[in-house]
Amino acid sequence: MVSREHERILQDTEREQGNTALRNNVKAALALADAVRSTLGPLGLDKMLISDVGEVQVTNDGVTVLEAAKVEHPTARMLISTSTTQDVEAHDGTTSAIVLTAELLLNALDWIDRGIHPSVLVSGYRMALEYALDVIESISRSASDEDLIQVVKTSLSGKVGEETRSSLSLLAMEAAKVALERSNREIIDPNDIKRITIRGGRISDSERIDGIVMRKTRLDSQTPDKLNSGKILILDGGLDPKELSIDASIRITEPGMLARFIERQKQELQDRVQAIADVGTDLLIVRDGVNDDAISMLREVGIVTYRRVERDDLELISRACGASIVRDTRGINSESLGTFESLKEESWESIDHVRIHGSVGSGQTVIIRGSTDSILEENQRAFDDAIGVACGLVQDSSILPGGGAIQIALARRLRDYSTSIPGREQLAVEAYAAAMESIPRALAQNAGLDGLDRILEITAAQASNDNDWLGLDVTDRQIHDMSERGVIEPLRTTRQALIGATESAISVLRIGDILWAKQDPQTPDWQSELGQDED
């Protein structure tokens, strides 16, 4: 009876079990990795992405490629989630995380075909991960100020040209250091640094300035366009007459009733403006609109006003000035106000901008320039990556060698470690070590070199010189100490890639059954209702 019930439940479900399910999952992972593998490294190739509406985007960023792809397979979507997490946590290494995941799965499938149970491989992979994390900590070094710039430049390799890499790396490190000095928080959020793009000029004309800059002009041109200092109020709402909370209509039964109603609305608006003025407000930032009648009222009490300010800008101004964001003027008091040191309106490329310099941290804005819209978009994406890496570095300056050096070092150490494991988990650790070599192999192949030959050369060089920092510099195709060549990367990038790739691979290996629900074409609800009406 129970088996019949099971059959009835699963009769409308397609089922994949055991090795069939795993093999299909590995195929999906490999297909995803193959889509981005060629972008890896400074000589990696770009991808042209074309949207449904014909918009064209050329990029070298792995996570951008994956997020733009329309992927249906659940395992592939799981790996894309891993890439996105890598981008959020480390702002680099997204392609490496995907390539590592696919290689870990491929190596595991080989052992499963030979009779090793997935649970053994899962256990071995966890052991290998813990050992690898300890190894990268022992190999890492603390970066000097010069190293920090090189790390950011390395993260932009292959994404933009040399001039752009240098300019954006300097801007990002400067902004990150300023943010650390002025912030009272342990974690520096890259989003605390405002970015504005202005078409015109070269990338070298980009600059970092103190203060929060917005593409805004003051509400009333008769109020000052420059203030030396004062109190600021941030209103998360608007200054409009309050509307009725329910649908209703007003019936005019006697002359003058409408005029009195309008006058009452104006008085209510006047009371709100007066409440803002009474707490000592000099500068008012409003998220929504401001009624025309309120404009003259604000001018009379001497308040400079900016309206329709985005929520993100409200947050930045709030932190820079130490102001609270209030929802209603009825609840404001002097403690709600913040302090700004200066306000100034300027015109850049015929567009009005206002700069607000706060008293607490002051805030900062990076102006990114470029000659065309496409170049501006590319530069902004590159700076987003650069500032993310830079903010991570000022909190943890530990660095590792690039050029495939750290992966080769891990492979060497893991193979030695595997010999100390008596059980079948030894095979999983060896498979993990082999997966590490997928990164230097891809770097070499993308530079037009033989991947296997370069892996053997780097391995021999590291072992004979007892130097884990020897890797491949694809610019001259020779093996060098990566610290001397400035090819270095943050420890946190490699750490997150290892953790993300291992956990994703383990999640896929633990899947022993895939159930696909069948969905037959269904009659639209409106047709069903129509048929009922006809009956």
Query: Are the C-beta atoms of 439 and 533 separated by less than 8 Å?
Result: no
Catalytically annotated residue among 39, 59, 61, 92: 61
Query: Are the C-beta atoms of 239 and 330 separated by less than 8 Å?
Result: no
User: Which amino acid type is present at position 2?
Assistant: V
Is residue 61 part of the annotated active site? The answer reads yes
Query: Are the C-beta atoms of 368 and 172 separated by less than 8 Å?
Result: no
Is residue 39 part of the annotated active site? The answer reads no
List, in sequence order, every beta strand (DSSP E) within 4-129: 13-17, 47-50, 56-59
Catalytically annotated residue among 39, 59, 94, 101: 94
Positive/negative CA dihedral, 239, 245, 247, 249: negative
Catalytically annotated residue among 385, 459, 468, 473: 385
Is residue 197 part of the annotated active site? The answer reads no
List, in sequence order, every beta strand (DSSP E) within 261-350: 283-286, 304-306, 325-326, 338-348
Q: How far is CA 165 from the centre of its chain?
A: 19
Q: Per the structure block, which two tokens stand in for 387?
A: 């500032």
Which of 72, 93, 75, 160 is closest to 496 using CA atoms? 93
Q: DSSP string of 108-164?
A: HHHHHHTT--HHHHHHHHHHHHHHHHHHHHHH-EEPPHHHHHHHHHHHTTTTS-HHH
Catalytically annotated residue among 59, 95, 154, 494: 95
Q: DSSP string of 491-526?
A: HHHHHHHHHHHHHHHHHHHT--EEEEE-------HH
Phi, psi of 97 (to 5 degrees): -60, -40
Is residue 385 part of the annotated active site? The answer reads yes
Question: Which of the residues are catalytic?
Answer: 61, 94-95, 385
